[in-house]
Amino acid sequence: MNQLSKLINCLSARDKIILSAFLLSIITFLFGERMRPFGILGDEVIYYFLSADFMKIVFEAGLDKYYVQRIFPPFIVYYFAKLFSVTFSPKNIIYIYGVINVILQVGLAYIWSLVADEMKISRRGLLVGFIALFCNFAVLKYVPYTQITTDLFAYTFSLLLFYFYLKDNCWAIAGISILSAFTWPALFYMGIILLMFPCVRTSIVKVNNKNFANIIPAIVLILIILQYKVALKGVFTGEAFSHGIYNNGANKPNMSLIFFSIAGVLVYLFFALRGLLLNPSFEDIKFGRGILRLRNIIIAVAVFMVTKYLIGQLSRYNMHFDLSVYLENRLIAAVNQPFIFLISHFIYFGPMVFFIIYYWKEFCQEINKYGVGLVFLFVLMIVLSIDSESRHLVNYYPLFVCFIVKAMDDKNIWDLKKIIFFALISIFFSKIWLPIHLIPWQGEILSFPKQLYYMNFGPWMSNKMFYAQLIFVLAGIAMLYFTIIKPEFCIRLPSSSPSKIRP
């Protein structure tokens, strides 16, 4: 035991979180609850057949454009199986995805340690960021439960994109962006933005653009109101519920609170965008040494055009995805209940969502230290964050973690007790302890036992489970506030030995 303790003490902070990621991913892979093959949504069936017979399906049978933009993970699984002469079967394909998910999580931990070094985040912050990235429903429960998914690829690639953005490596960003176009489409556009507007660091934020910070959110709100005006016609006539996610059992809005819910969306967008846009310095927008570089723009345009051409060549059909229906569905789902999108994000990504909201001012100031390009990206992220299906934001959440950890790190908030409490409450909200696939798996999506799964995805969350989970979220927020932010309000316990985690 002493030798093991000495060995652990010899490891660097980076080695420890990589080892922790490996052990955590192995445990959830081997012992985590796993759904029956093809038991839930349907996309995993397509990914399975792609993984089993990639070349024939892609180049002979042909694919819808929607699935062409998700073929990279099945491509990896297909050649992984070929390389190791693995027989193609549902069980083996799931195991291969599981192994790749372990590799991705180890890679995620390593990339996070590199980002933390670049951002000069302390060892405490490194640990807090690790907890925020790994101890949530998205990673601890959803990935091992589903296994056949592209989510973890997007999660890891997004942090890798940000790392190369910090390193100002445009060629690496271009390469990852191309892979992202065939993995998680939204991540491709994120890469193009980071490629076009390279990182420009500054240590101090002094600019105060009040007019700009009011005008842009106001314009966004006007556009959103106009979209809701159209969407509400379909809601009141019932036509909006005849397509898209409502064909898959999504919950309908609480009509008695719908206008209050819309007001909540507008208030959220205005103040979130206003806080972000108060401090950007437009002095960076200039050619040469500033944020606009001809080389980056040329590469970004070339990557965009070539990638779109490849997607078009590989696509045989384009029937699966209708952008207008998608946007209408998401606008309506955002107002199922008041602030359902924020509750969904807390449930899916964990307690760090609360800290992002509470320290929004400091969070935005940190973003503004890295150039206007990153500010533009976060404007897009905030607008998209009203989507209550939180898994659509897996390519954005790691960037939020980076900046909230840095903002809290600078305030010197964390000590060992607080970190342990944060880890415990994060694990609780990850629902790793909650069995999902109870037998028999029957009934409607909005009733049990299926709600054990679907209550974690905003559009399919029943009204009863919204209010039940709201109580838990509010209780969790109260505990986080009085334990981590304002511990002086709690009854003081006898002092213990000082933290062994050095800042």
pLDDT digits (tens, 9 = 90+) for 5-18: 666 778 888 999 99
What pTM was computed for the model? 0.93
Q: Is 108 inside a domain boundary? A: yes
pLDDT tens readout for residues 323-345: 788 889 999 999 999 999 999 99
Tokens 């925020």 found at: 132
Instruction: Label residue 243 by pLDDT band (50, 70, 90).
Output: confident
Extract the tokens encoding 482.
Answer: 């009085």
Q: Is 253 inside a domain boundary? A: no
Q: Is 246 inside a domain boundary? A: no
Q: What is the pLDDT of residue 486?
A: 87
- Mean pLDDT check: name the lowest of 77-86, 166-175, 282-291, 434-443: 282-291
Instruction: Label residue 244 by pLDDT band (50, 70, 90).
Output: confident
Q: Is 78 inside a domain boundary? A: yes
Q: Is 243 inside a domain boundary? A: no
Task: Give the domain extent around 438.
Answer: 13-212+278-489
pLDDT tens readout for residues 395-450: 999 999 999 999 999 999 999 999 999 999 999 999 999 998 777 777 889 998 88
Tokens 């690639």 found at: 157
Residues 6 or more apart whose CB falls under 8 angstroms from that of 422 comprise 128, 131, 351, 480, 484
Instruction: Label residue 503 by pLDDT band (50, 70, 90).
Output: very low
Q: What share of the chain is helix, strand, coil (3-state, %, to 5)?
A: 70, 0, 30
Greater model confidence, 1 or 402:
402
Average pLDDT (24-38) is 84
Indicate the number of domains in the chain.
1
Q: Is 413 inside a domain boundary? A: yes
Q: Is 19 inside a domain boundary? A: yes
Residues 6 or more apart whose CB falls under 8 angstroms from that of 152 comprise 101, 104, 105, 108, 139, 143
| Alpha helices in 119-257, H assignment, sequence order | 123-134, 143-146, 151-166, 170-181, 185-196, 210-237
pLDDT tens readout for residues 195-205: 999 888 877 66
Give dist(CA 366, CA 386) in Å, integer.
22
Q: Is 328 inside a domain boundary? A: yes
Contact predicate 158/125, CB 8 Å: no
* H/E segment holding residue 317: strand 315-317
